[in-house]
Copies of this chain bind each other. A is one copy, B any other.
């Protein structure tokens, strides 16, 4: 049975309360439930982690190499600042899909570059909750 690691980056635990105009009203739990259903239907197992710690995310990815077949990640704020997560993904060699709730390329200047994009297979962005769903489906297909 294929295993997929799902990582939610910083502040995503606050979804639903956090600037709903930008991020919508869906909660992280609801996202995870949706992902769980898709996983079930497709017979893959998920490990889902939310962390505000760059180092923790690096630890997780570093240890995932042999345990998982794919990585679905919303790096959130670390998208724009973390070379360490980029290097972790690249070192892990995992098939990776990057997702964003909002359209980062139409927001502030400092959000308009992704240090992560260069090391992932593909990116889905701007569809809110749906970004995750599309991203997970793509990842399952690719595996």
Residues of A that sit less than 8 Å from B by CB: 9-11, 13-14, 17-19, 51-56, 58-59, 62, 65, 76-78, 80-84, 86-88, 90-92, 103, 105-106, 108, 110-115, 117-127, 130-131, 134, 137-138, 141-142
Report 14 cross-chain contacts, Cβ distance below 8 Å, ordered by A residue: A11-B58, A11-B84, A11-B88, A13-B62, A52-B88, A53-B56, A54-B55, A55-B56, A77-B86, A103-B117, A106-B117, A112-B113, A117-B126, A134-B134
When distances are taken between beta carbons in the complex, the residues of chain B under 8 Å from A76 are: 84, 87
Contacting pair A81 B83 (CB below 8 A): yes
Known: A14-B62, A55-B53, A83-B81. A127 touches B138 (CB 8 A): yes
A77 to chain B, nearest CB (A): 4
Contacting pair B105 A123 (CB below 8 A): yes
Contacting pair A90 B19 (CB below 8 A): yes
When distances are taken between beta carbons in the complex, the residues of chain B under 8 Å from A134 are: 124, 134, 137-138
Task: Name A's interface SS.
Answer: helix
A67 to B13, CA, bound (A): 17
**Interface contacts beyond A10-B55, A105-B113: sample of 17 additional A-B pairs, CB < 8 Å, sorted by A:** A10-B58, A18-B90, A52-B54, A52-B56, A52-B62, A53-B55, A55-B56, A77-B83, A80-B83, A81-B83, A103-B121, A103-B123, A106-B118, A121-B127, A123-B125, A127-B138, A130-B141
